Chain A
Amino acid sequence: MRLLFALISLVFAVNAAAVIESYEFDNDIQRDRYNAFIEELRCPKCQNQNLSGSDSEIARDLRRKVHDMIMADKSDAEITQYMLDRYGDFVLYRPRFAGTTAVLWLMPAALILLGLIVWYRMGKRRGAGPAAPVELDSRERERLASLLGEEDRNA
């Protein structure tokens, strides 16, 4: 039981290897915004880490920049745009909906739809009842008899 619990908690374990930097904030809203940004922005140097999880130089610089901009009372849209202007859609873990990202957004829905269609059609076929018994012609019946006869002998 204890082992099971340990295994289950492994599934829910989160990456706690966040970098520790001490930034000063005037209030909790600023701190929350900062934390939200470094979770949602992707480190441009690393293939798949957010700013909070990366120890690379560029992630450090970008965290400092996010902090600076929050302290300068920039809006969320302004901060996002600042990052987009420099690093493109790559930095957003939640990409915008655009021509280039349409596949990304629509593919899951399309696949679910496809699955539903296949499921529906399979269900319909099953609902149509068993296929009519196949009539064997004389040659097939002969072959069947000989096959069955062989089996009897083998047994």
Chain B
Amino acid sequence: MQRLKLFLPLIIFVLLALVFLGVELRVKSGDYSPTAMPSALVDKPLPDFDLPTLNGERAGPGDMPAQAYLVNVWATWCPTCHYEHPFLVELQRRGIPIIGVDYKDSADAAQRWLQEKGDPYVMTLFDADGQFGLDLGVTGAPETYLVDSNGIVRFRFQGALDEKVWLKEFAPRVAALKGGAE
């Protein structure tokens, strides 16, 4: 027992080292991101809004799709959104409804972007002053929210969507929502 006490500092050190190594490995493998923040919106309804769309119409919560959909916050000034865009087009091809939120952007640049790169969005809300972004609790772009058929936010992802993120984070949740609806 006395012997063991002598080794106590070493034992504590080894335990801590193991804990930190574990965290580091999870960061490396992408399981855990120290910058990811839980969204305060999860399991709450999408905040109310009344915004112009890029087509010049106005839209509110009543205009949202009837089935589960994605809300994708993007902007032309956001480099990661360039990277993400082709995958959004691919998701549209797979029949996933996506609502775009053009966040603190210029409408001209945004329209040009959609013409050149393809438009994966059912509609794009134009959030010029970022107020809707604030209500969503965004910290930057891109961010993607999964909203169920009742308009409840189920999941928020910060960063670019790609096949890997989709399969890991979104596909199971979308499948669960579909299963629950039937």
Contact = CB atoms under 8 A, between A and B. Distances in A.
B40 A84 contact: yes
Interface residues of A, number: 15
Nearest to B37: A90
Interface residues of B, number: 17
A95 interface: no
Given A44-B139, A45-B140, A62 B37 contact: no
Contacts of B173: none
Given A87-B40, A90-B37, A45 B139 contact: yes
A76 interface: no
Contacts of B34: 47
B38 A88 contact: yes
Contacts of A47: 34-35
Contacts of B140: 45, 56-58
Interface string B37-64: 1111100000000000000000000000
A85 B135 CA distance: 8
Q: What's the dominant secondary structure at chain B's contact region?
A: loop
B130 interface: yes
A86 interface: yes
B12 interface: no
A62 B134 contact: yes
Interface in B131-177: 133-140
Most chain B beta-carbon contacts within 10 A, residue among A47, A56, A85, A87: A87
A88 B36 CA distance: 13
Given A44-B37, A45-B140, A47-B34, A86 B130 contact: no
Interface of A: 44-45, 47, 56-58, 61-62, 65, 84-88, 90
27 contacts: A44-B37, A44-B137, A44-B139, A45-B140, A47-B34, A56-B140, A57-B104, A57-B130, A57-B140, A58-B138, A58-B140, A61-B130, A61-B133, A61-B134, A62-B134, A65-B134, A84-B40, A86-B41, A86-B134, A86-B135, A87-B37, A87-B40, A87-B139, A88-B38, A88-B40, A88-B137, A90-B37
